[in-house]
Amino acid sequence: EAGVTQFPSHSVIEKGQTVTLRCDPISGHDNLYWYRRVMGKEIKFLLHFVKESKQDESGMPNNRFLAERTGGTYSTLKVQPAELEDSGVYFCASSPPGQGQYYSGANVLTFGAGSRLTVL
């Protein structure tokens, strides 16, 4: 099966510009997650979708970040306007139905390769 696909793999933009990152989860995976790794630091949770609904967006840094998942398939993460501190690698992950907030098993997330964002 195809894995989690992220596009673009690398984006370089000027401060103040807008960037949209896209994630295509594994087909049939209702749960979709966004994480971010700022250079040299840990990977941090941003938000979680169950189908098209935002289950948890507690990790979103501020209102310059907007995530959507129309139709419950692919998701986009828009940064507008981008700031220097937004630079990093944005990871998307997905997991099957049932592996959500109340799942008691070992939640195994399948990650994409990440989208590297560089803000100059």
Partner 1 sequence: AQTVTQSQPEMSVQEAETVTLSCTYDTSESDYYLFWYKQPPSRQMILVIRQEAYKQQNATENRFSVNFQKAAKSFSLKISDSQLGDAAMYFCAYGWGTYKYIFGTGTRLKVLA
Provide the binding-site residues for partner 1, judged by CB under 8 A: 3-4, 9, 31, 33, 35, 37, 40-45, 48, 56, 59, 91, 95, 99-104, 106-114
Q: Which is nearer to partner 1, 13 or 26 (CB)?
A: 26
DSSP E strands in 1-120: the ranges are: 5-7, 10-13, 19-24, 31-37, 43-50, 53-56, 65-68, 75-79, 88-95, 110-111, 115-119
CB of 80 vs partner 1, minimal distance in Å: 25
CB of 108 vs partner 1, minimal distance in Å: 6
Q: Which is nearer to partner 1, 112 or 119 (CB)?
A: 112
Q: At 5, give phi and psi (nearest 5°).
A: -110, 135
Nearest alpha-carbon partner for 67 in 85, 83, 45: 45
Q: Which is nearer to partner 1, 13 or 43 (CB)?
A: 43
CB of 10 vs partner 1, minimal distance in Å: 9
What is the end-to-end Cα distance of the chain in Å, rounded? Answer: 37
CB of 45 vs partner 1, minimal distance in Å: 5
